[in-house]
Amino acid sequence: MRHIQDQPRYLLLLKRMLKPGGRVIHIDFQKQDLPVGPPPAMKIAREDLVSQMEAAGFRLVAEHAFLPYQYFLVFAVR
């Protein structure tokens, strides 16, 4: 989410636009040197993303680990 300006406002709007029971899926590259994807400076660490989402009123409800270079997170409104 580094490329999104005013992230708190964006997440607030996202939260308000979700239908009841809706989910937000976030798939991103792990923040490290990898053989694919952007450089680490352009990535967000999983822990930082979870913190941002929780601060915006979301909670992590699922996480999948089947991708070799990415994390796959599912969030719901608290």
Q: What pLDDT does residue 3 have?
A: 75
Q: What pLDDT does residue 4 have?
A: 83
Q: What pLDDT does residue 2 have?
A: 62
Between CA 65 and CA 73 the distance in angstroms is 9
Give the tokens for residue 42: 């352009």
Rounded (to 5) percent helix, strand, coil in the chain? 30, 30, 40
Q: What pLDDT does residue 49 have?
A: 95
Between CA 44 and CA 12 the distance in angstroms is 19
Q: What is the mean pLDDT of each run of 10 residues along the chain (78 residues)?
A: 82 94 96 94 94 96 97 97
The CATH fold of domain 7-77: Rossmann fold (3.40.50)
Give the tokens for residue 45: 């660490």
Is residue 52 within 8 A of residue 73, CB to CB? The reply is no
